[in-house]
Amino acid sequence: MRLLSRVLVLLALFLAPPALAQALLTGADMRPSQSLDGAWHWSVDPYRDGKAGFHGGMPGESSRRWSEVNQADALEKNPSALYEFDMQRSPVVHLPGSWIGHAAEMRYYQGLVWYQRNFEARKPAPGTRVFLRFGAADYTADVYLNGKSVGNHRGGFTPFVFDVTELLRDGSNQITVGVDSARTDDDVPPPVTDWETYGGITRSVTLITVPETFVDNAWVRLGRDGRIHADIRIYGSQASNRDFSVRIPALGLTLSGRTGQDGQWTGSAPAPRALKRWSPEAPTLYDVETASGDDVLRDRIGFRTIETRGTQILLNGKPVFLRGISMHEEELGNNPIRAITPAAARALLTEIKLGLNGNFVRLAHYPHSEVMTRMADELGLLVWSEVPVYWRVNWENPKTLADARTQLRENILRDRNRASIALWSVANETPVGDARNAFLRTLIADVRGFDDSRLVTAALLSKREGKVMSIDDPLVADLDVMAINTYNGWYSQDPLADLPGFEWRSPTDKPLIFSEFGADAQAGYHDAASRPHKFSEEFQAEYFRQTLAMAAKVPFLAGMSPWLLKDFRSPRRQHPVFQQGWNRKGLISETGARKQAFYVLAEEYRRRAGSNR
């Protein structure tokens, strides 16, 4: 078995795409761009006609699909052209946003949906390149420009780009995207989760023009050695031996150098004395410009260090208790479509920061929008960021591992400059076993390879014997911070008053985070009995009081992110009275009504903020 999983990991190493062989523009959301958000035509395609062909790909059938034609051109030139999928006359919706919001019958649709729009552009000037960038499309996307395939992408939560320099033309252009939300047991995440899939183009689409040789992946950070470190990568025909500079004007700091043969440079300089370190209390961000030739890549970056010492987490060298909460990527409202605008991100994170007196958020269970992590930087919240390696992943399949590694890499490369991110997590509630351990160890090694400045964790399950809870997952040895999801008193029938009597045992001297605990409550359902029923606000509030009393007795606890800020859509939660398609473990309802437990946690965090423990 051990041998088998080693072989699988080796195979996956070959399948995984080379680290940075091509430009990803993952961190390019601040580059000037032409937005393709707005009105798009859409059509369902439940039999995948636009991909498979009319007869589903019968021998002899023309290999040309309607998706590979610029329909506007074809219909103009040839009146007898026939397109039943006439995208130009299909209904129009506003993107980004999941198709769940397009029409009532789309709520549980899992499959292929086509999108198309026309836009005006210029043929790229000589010496420039144009990239088409998607913030995310859930789950696979096939993209065509002017009837030509430009590529595809798997994974619903991370950005991807295509070089479309050769395909853009002066005047009207047409983009067609087929997004398929169907997943199998080999995907990441697998089909069964506890959240809404939100198929579609859920984040912004942009066209980004850069000089032929340009900067990408400029990672600038404060090292634990007190120096500002930079890793620069330049792409294009002139990338070797290329001069560049990294400037932080407000600090009067410039790092300059010349790339090697491979277009890369790594170096550091002492941090200026004037540097104000980023922290939740003072989230200072600096403009940083990386320039080479005609290209300037801009960013807003905070500088801080994060590390562990024994059972403590240290931020800027000082112990910090993570006063957090978890959340899914869903805006407030009765009918969310996963459209995270800066205003939506601010509204949610402000509830954590000011409402709950928090300093930490777990962005569960997949990479959230870059809008969210930038807002966390700006408002001052530490972040747990994770990939959807969730529950029952196919540990034995090298392709599944390759997909997980791609998502991890895209997430880290996108957000390495976000000061808010303190922890990268590689998995949630996964069953211990050789193949799983090997799979997750590969991801942990990847995290350390891409980013050695942060902490690595994973949400694990504990073992219960009577009232003794222990952490006996072998993965603990590989992590910087242990994390446990625990639900005694909700999924078990323990009387709530017993919870403070539970004893937690640790196998190491590493810090522990309670990455989840929670109980459903329907906002407005009250039960005044001395032992209130589940689903009442009183039960949830008492559950929080008693679980927090238990947590206060765990000496190696360094933080918590209870489950969770806001009620969220989940097709598996169908209690006819209390849930109706919503997981009700939110401390606020889907429309933002605060439940009693909200105030219990806010008070606990106010007290902990005072003592920082």
- Shortest distance, CB of residue 564 to ligand GCB, whole angstroms? 8
Site string for ligand GCB, 344-373 (x = CB under 6 A): ---------------------x--------
CA 516 to chain centre: 18
Name which position in 102, 221, 353, 585 contacts ligand GCB (CB under 6 A): 585
Token pair for 108: 């549980």
> Taking each helix axis from N to C terminus, what angle separates 398-415 and 2-15, rounded to the nearest 10 degrees?
50
Q: Which of residues 501-520 bind ligand GCB (CB under 6 A)?
A: 516
User: Which residue's CB is nearer to ligand GCB, number 138 or number 180?
Assistant: 138
User: Which residue's CB is nearer to ligand GCB, number 29 or number 520?
Assistant: 520
Rama region for 612: left / alpha / beta (φ>0; ψ in -120 to 50; rest): left
Residue least distant from ligand GCB (Cβ): 194
User: Which residue's CB is nearer to ligand GCB, number 43 or number 583?
Assistant: 583
- Shortest distance, CB of residue 486 to ligand GCB, whole angstroms? 9
Name which position in 158, 197, 485, 536 contacts ligand GCB (CB under 6 A): 485
User: Which residue's CB is nearer to ligand GCB, number 263 or number 586?
Assistant: 586
- Say whether residue 290 binds ligand GCB (CB under 6 A): no
User: Which residue's CB is nearer to ligand GCB, number 303 or number 582?
Assistant: 582
Pairing of strands 312-315, 318-319: antiparallel
- Shortest distance, CB of residue 425 to ligand GCB, whole angstroms? 11
* Residues 563, 585 contacting (CB under 8 angstroms): yes
Interatomic CA distance for residues 225 and 222, integer angstroms: 8
DSSP 17-31: PPTTSS---TT-TTS
Cβ burial, residue 19 (10 Å; 0-12/13-18/19+): exposed
**Pick from 223, 245, 225, 242: nearest CA to 234:** 242
Q: Which of residues 134-153 bind ligand GCB (CB under 6 A)?
A: none
- At residue 520's C-alpha, the angle toward residues 517 and 523, to 5°, is 130
- Beta-carbon contacts of 517 under 8 Å, excluding residues fewer than 6 positions away, are 485, 486, 487, 490, 547, 560, 562, 563
Interatomic CA distance for residues 447 and 453, integer angstroms: 10
User: Which residue's CB is nearer to ligand GCB, number 218 or number 588?
Assistant: 588
User: Which residue's CB is nearer to ligand GCB, number 239 or number 372?
Assistant: 372
Q: What is the DSSP letter of 71?
A: H
Q: Which of residues 101-130 bind ligand GCB (CB under 6 A)?
A: none
Residue 458 forms beta bridges with which residues? 482
- Shortest distance, CB of residue 523 to ligand GCB, whole angstroms? 16
User: Which residue's CB is nearer to ligand GCB, number 244 or number 504?
Assistant: 504
User: Which residue's CB is nearer to ligand GCB, number 8 or number 484?
Assistant: 484
**Pick from 31, 41, 35: nearest CA to 91:** 41
- Shortest distance, CB of residue 585 to ligand GCB, whole angstroms? 5
Q: Which of residues 182-221 bind ligand GCB (CB under 6 A)?
A: 194
User: Which residue's CB is nearer to ligand GCB, number 161 or number 587?
Assistant: 587
Residue 179 forms beta bridges with which residues? 113, 141
Name which position in 544, 563, 582, 605 contacts ligand GCB (CB under 6 A): 563
- Shortest distance, CB of residue 541 to ligand GCB, whole angstroms? 17
- Shortest distance, CB of residue 191 to ligand GCB, whole angstroms? 14
- Say whether residue 567 binds ligand GCB (CB under 6 A): no
- Count the residues of the shown chain that bind ligand GCB, applying the rule CB under 6 A: 9
* Residues 559, 317 contacting (CB under 8 angstroms): no
- Shortest distance, CB of residue 365 to ligand GCB, whole angstroms? 6
User: Which residue's CB is nearer to ligand GCB, number 514 or number 563?
Assistant: 563
Cβ burial, residue 378 (10 Å; 0-12/13-18/19+): middle
Compute the 3-state secondary structure of the chain and give helix, strand, coil in percent, each to the nearest 5.
25, 30, 45
Interatomic CA distance for residues 574 and 580, integer angstroms: 5
Name which position in 279, 290, 385, 583 contacts ligand GCB (CB under 6 A): 583
- At residue 532's C-alpha, the angle toward residues 527 and 535, to 5°, is 75
- Shortest distance, CB of residue 583 to ligand GCB, whole angstroms? 5
- Say whether residue 428 binds ligand GCB (CB under 6 A): yes
Name which position in 29, 370, 429, 473 contacts ligand GCB (CB under 6 A): 429
Residue ranges in contact with ligand GCB by CB under 6 A: 194, 365, 428-429, 485, 516, 563, 583, 585
